[in-house]
Amino acid sequence: MTATPARRPTGFYPVFLNLRGRRAVVVGGGAVAEQKVLGLLDAGAHVTVVSRETTPRLEDLAAQGAIEVRRRPYRRGDLADAWLAIAATDDRAVNDAVWAEAEEEGIPLNAVDDLDHCSFIAPAIHREGDVTVAVSTSGKSPALAVRLRDRIAKLIGPAEARLCDLLGELRRELGARVPDARARTELWYRIVDSDVVEFVRRGDMGGARRRIDHLVGGTVASARPQPNRERGIVYLVGAGPGDPGLITVKGLEILRSADVVVYDRLVHPALVDQAPSGAERVFVGKHARGGGGGRSPEQTEIDELLIERARRGRVVVRLKGGDPFVFGRGAEECQALRAAGIAVQVIPGVTAAIAAPGAAGIPVTHRRYASAFAVVTGHQCEGASALDWEALARMPTLVVLMGLSALPEITARLLAHGADPDTPAAVVASGTLPAQRVVVGTIATIAALVTEAELDPPATVVVGEVVRVGRLVRERAPRRAAAAVRP
């Protein structure tokens, strides 16, 4: 028989200790010791401090009877009856003595900034109600642990704490309704991955309970279609201009709760990956020019898809590049969904009309050059156009989305309606992405320059004096690093 090779230890084993009513000893009375004492008191421990001198805060706690203070140096026997100990001194000899007693008595010890004398590590902690997050670097970098803790803390607020309370209240009930352990585990994940937290965030605890009840019902019901099953919801989520880090916090949170993700071509793959692993992913974008890939779906087909999935009781995320209501046909989808009786909510996004020029250093407004700007779509610039080109030619800043193929016609129309040929113009391709490229010229030259540069869509056209400001910004700015979606 082949022996199984021993696993190599990889670090400390994370646990949460119940210190309520248990004795903890802190050796040291300085600022670090004070922080350790406060953490122990928060956990309900009975704290004894051993130190000749203590901070004013520890003095106050002692005066209130919240802690015991032994005003002398540490001596052997101070850990008697302790359940855990912390050495918060700068004296390695003292740490060595405390360590010896702790090891002999089997008492867990943390020696601050002295990893060799630690049998446990005190992590960086964030608490929100009964939700506790602890981050440890195995003692190698407490500062990094704190910064990581702070990032995680931004994702956990009062809504998550209230949701935790609600799930705690329902735990016994759900155990009775779903007795199979595996099915119950899957159900808990469905609940916390769903949009229940959105009901809690709005203060609609009744709605949260009904949503959970619906999810429970789906678990215990048979697999046969349910004609009277409660309908789901569709979220129209703006994915931002390209860089996956520019989706809103709320948009990312909703995406991570999706049962179905319906997405466009310009949505970054890293965002689609943020959906739960079991979520259905449906691509409905128009295929890239010359890229083949078959027929692109019609808008009516997309509407029918959203309605059909929502009627199955799913949480459907319609993920759209930029903002859903800026040339994204989001309003049409809202109308179709509401006409079908489907609940729908819009999560606005960062539009490329502002973000792409901004990523190139071009402000769409400027106190000196432009107090107004207009945004049009390139689809309205080719052939017959209902746009007021005379008004657009006078606009301080003109932004054209999806205007690359129509650029020669755009510039010709502006010139024909009185625009100055020397007015600065720029085209930002793949704005906010690492592949971003910027071509700068004038109304008279920009089309030829773009052709020479062989830019590919998506691209945003900007016309106006603000382009000059952008050139100065780009010349002085460091290289831009692409943002990343954080887990």
H helical segments located in 180-326:
181-193, 196-201, 205-220, 249-255, 269-272, 299-311
Element (H, E) at 337: helix 330-339
Residue 359 CA neighbour count, 13 Å, CB half: 29
Q: How far apart are CA 209 and CA 214, in angstroms?
A: 9
342: alpha, beta or left, given left = phi > 0 and alpha = psi -120 to 50?
Answer: beta
Catalytic residue among 193, 264, 303, 323: 264
Burial of 435 (0-12, 13-18, 19+ CB in 10 A): exposed
Alpha helix positions (H), 221-319: 249-255, 269-272, 299-311
CA proximity to 237, closest of 201, 211, 184, 198: 198
Cα–Cα distances in angstroms (integers) from residue 446 to residues 104, 442, 468, in the given order = 80, 5, 14
Catalytic residue flag (residue 154): no
Structural contact between residues 230 and 342, judged by C-beta atoms closer than 8 angstroms: no
**Annotated catalytic residue: which of 286, 388, 420, 422?**
286
- Are the C-beta atoms of 50 and 42 separated by less than 8 Å? no
**334-370 burial, b if ≥16 CB within 10 A, otherwise e?**
bebbeebebebebbbbbbbbbbbbbbbbbbbebeebb
- Can you read off the two tokens belonging to residue 52? 């000749």
Helices (H) and strands (E) in the chain, counts: 17, 17
C-alpha 250/C-alpha 228 separation (Å) is 31
8 Å CB contact between 58 and 33? yes
Q: What angle do CA 454, 455, 459 make, to 5 degrees?
A: 160
The helix or strand, by DSSP H or E, that contains position 36, with its residue range, turns out to be: helix 31-42
- Residue 331, token pair as written in the block: 């309003």
Six-digit token string for 139: 């003692």
Has 320 been annotated as catalytic?
no
Say how far apart CA 112 and CA 114 lie, in whole Å.
5
Peptide bond into 458 cis (omega under 30): yes
Residues with a catalytic annotation lie at: 264, 286
